[in-house]
Amino acid sequence: KAISGSLGEIQSIRKLRSGDLLVEVKSRKQSQQILKLTTLGTIPVSVTAHTSLNTCKGVITCGELLNETVEKIAEELNSEGVIHVRRISIRRDGQLLPTKHLILTFHKPKLPESIRAGYMKLAVRPYIPNPLRCFQCQRFGHAKGACRGTITCARCAEIGHDSQQCTAQEKCVNCSGSHTSYSRSCPRWQVEKQIVTVKFKENLSYPEARRKVTAQTPIPGVSYASALTDTSTKTANKIKTPENSSATDTILSEPTPTKKSKPPRKNKRKPKSQSSLTLKLSKRGLPQKELPLKLKKSLLQSSVALGLANQGNVHKDLTSLFGGAPKSPDRLSLHSPSI
């Protein structure tokens, strides 16, 4: 509230681990006002500009400036917001050779897309340095001058000697891999390179960039396909386990198709009862005395035919079935299908 009362509405404010307050203002007028503050209410304070968040670095390539000194270039580019110039050099055959690439430091938080150098328009690309590695303990994130560790070999990772005269087997201090601590194939070096890239591209502090990259970096040794397969397997097991089943699982599960049992086939040709057969024979005008004999023979023949049908025997010839019985109209009518 005290800061807002003195400056008005600001962009953001947060407390750092050291206890200091990091304030981001919205305009140059506010930045000039906050630099003049000596107290916040009754609390005495001192205000200084942040060492890295108020500047940004970019790279330009220009062959015409190869023979110019960096001091003269910085003076000429002062109107573009450039406060420092450094030329990139390469080592070849033991000698440092200057290149046409220049690292420019701008006194602004956002990198411009291009600048004017006399009559030339030069494109500006982000400067992404290599990760900072200590030459004493071989760890990342600090320089030798701020190191509290002991001297460690960059070749074999042993404590107590440097790597100039070492011929032991290669071992990395940071990942314990079979390579030197300064190898660019080191997984830790590649992660640190990502952190530095995020830091410079998004103009973040080193701890903020590290937290962002750490949250986005997958677990080493676990591919996306294997993680997806493992997740699918766990989900399937969870649905199949009775303890974890729920009403939703029951609704989503597909019912197992079951075959409907067929009803027993009914015999279309029903056996004739004795009363119906007697009535039928009597209607044909047979004498009353011959009815019992005729009925007995008909029942016997029906039982024989039914037994053969159950055994799977099929006879198309009625004569072979009844042992060559004479084909009288009365006999044949006994085996005609009833309606």
Q: Which of 30, 40, 37 is nearest to 7 (CA)?
A: 30
User: Residues 31-42: what's their mean pLDDT?
Assistant: 80
Which phi-psi region, left, alpha or beta, contains residue 52 (left: φ > 0; alpha: ψ -120 to 50)? alpha
Distance in angstroms (rounded) separating the CA atoms of residues 201 and 129: 11
Burial class of 318 by CB neighbour count within 10 A (0 to 12, 13 to 18, 19+):
middle
Which of the residue ranges 140-149, 151-160, 258-267 has the most confident prediction, judged by mean pLDDT?
151-160
Q: Which of 62, 30, 72 is nearest to 49 (CA)?
A: 30
pLDDT band at 71 (very low <50, low <70, confident <90, very high): very high
- At 272, list the tokens: 């004739």
Distance in angstroms (rounded) separating the CA atoms of residues 82 and 106: 4
* pLDDT given for residue 162 in this prediction: 85
Distance of CA 264 to the CA centre of its chain: 56
Q: What is the DSSP letter of 130?
A: P
Picking from 13-27, 61-75, 152-166, 292-306, which range would have the lowest pLDDT averaged per residue?
Answer: 292-306
| 231 within 8 A of 222, measured Cβ to Cβ | no
Tell me how far CA of residue 13 lies from CA of 16, 90, 151, 259, 296, in angstroms: 10, 42, 40, 71, 116
Q: What is the DSSP letter of 23?
A: E
Domain boundaries, the chain: 1-50, 56-126, 144-215
